[in-house]
Amino acid sequence: MSPTKRIAVDGGGVWVVRSASPTVYFVDLNDMLLLRQPASHTTAEQLRGPFDGSWVPLTSVISWDVEGVEHGVLRVGARHRYDTDPDPNGVGDYRWWLQRMATEIDSVPPELRPIGAALDIADYARPLVRYAAEEHGRDARGDNI
């Protein structure tokens, strides 16, 4: 077994965190930002949520696995919860994403850092949807959208 790769949040840098899912998470620890990027090819089981493809302010990272829970650390072999505040000067709620177990964490050179879409605060009103359900005009609960 290879050693666990461990990145301290206060260590800076830009990182891409991959799992068994085609969705990847870009974590900019210099500016404390998160960009969740679903794959361009989608399946009925993938979820798309508000602010996907946009950099949002990252307030904390929590990693956990059989070894325990660690705040402020990214680890291969752990699941990560990313807490975000897409509208830090507004009245919107905090958001969070729970990633599948990380299989790979790689540094991203500055010239390859994704630009991301413009942050649209109106996304607060957009529900979490399944791609296939969205194609039929319904959200994940089956309500019309």
Domain count, the chain: 1
Residue 125 has a pLDDT of 59
Does 46 reside within a domain?
yes
Residue 46 has a pLDDT of 56
Does 142 reside within a domain?
no
Does 92 reside within a domain?
yes
Does 143 reside within a domain?
no
Burial class (CB in 10 A: 0-12, 13-18, 19+), 37: middle
Does 144 reside within a domain?
no
**d(Cα 48, Cα 140) in Å, to the nearest integer?**
10
Does 44 reside within a domain?
yes
pLDDT beneath 70, residues of the chain: 1-4, 40-48, 91-92, 121-145
What integer best gives the mean pLDDT of the chain? 80
Does 72 reside within a domain?
yes
Render pLDDT for 25-52 as a digit per residue (tens, 0 to 9): 999 999 999 999 987 655 544 566 778 8
Does 141 reside within a domain?
no
